[in-house]
Amino acid sequence: MLDKLGGAFAPKPSPGPHKERECLPLVVMLRNRLKYALTYREVVAIVMQRLISIDGKVRTDKCYPAGFMDVISIAKTNENFRLLYDNKGRFTLHHISAEEAKVCNSERPWMRDGCPLNGSFRVLSHSVLVGVLLLWLKYGSGPHIGGSRGRECGT
């Protein structure tokens, strides 16, 4: 049996950087996962106070789609979370420190002058707040990986 907030009445994510099936709307995150609000109206009040930022940018859309490896920061409580998959493929919010940088995958890295960087399929680490490239991490033997789709999602 579905609860009254699930099924057809669940909040749909706004169009944005992540697909509908691969994201978690901000209202579901604040109300159902973090328990910062009891109702939809309380979530709207929190978001309109400009207290929530995703990847270093303040978001005022209550249904903004947060996706895999996004950093969610709450200004009033000074808490930071990273949206990850658990071992069953469900979204989970992992508590992180304030100075932890975002790691993203770069398939075709380009610099501002237009020249491609040698060796694609490397991971680059950059600061979320400043947007500056910190370091290159090369793929090697032994790193931990996690799938984002399919049967092996979250492992």
pLDDT in tens, 90-109: 899 999 888 775 555 545 55
Q: Per-residue DSSP letters for 37-86?
A: -SSHHHHHHHHHTT-EEETTEE---TT-EEETT-EEEETTTTEEEEEEE-
Q: If we measure between CA atoms, which residue out of 39, 73, 41 comes closest to residue 55?
A: 73
What residue ranges do the domains of the chain occupy? 10-96, 102-137
Is it true that domain 10-96 has CATH number 3.10.290.10? yes
- CA 107 – CA 15 distance, rounded (Å): 24
What is the amino acid identity at position 151?
Answer: R
pLDDT in tens, 69-81: 889 999 999 999 9
pLDDT in tens, 17-71: 999 989 999 999 999 999 999 999 999 999 999 999 998 899 999 999 999 888 9
Residue 1: which pLDDT band, with cuts at 50, 70 and 90?
very low
Residue 83: half-sphere exposure toward Cβ, Cα within 13 Å: 25
pLDDT in tens, 111-124: 555 555 555 445 55
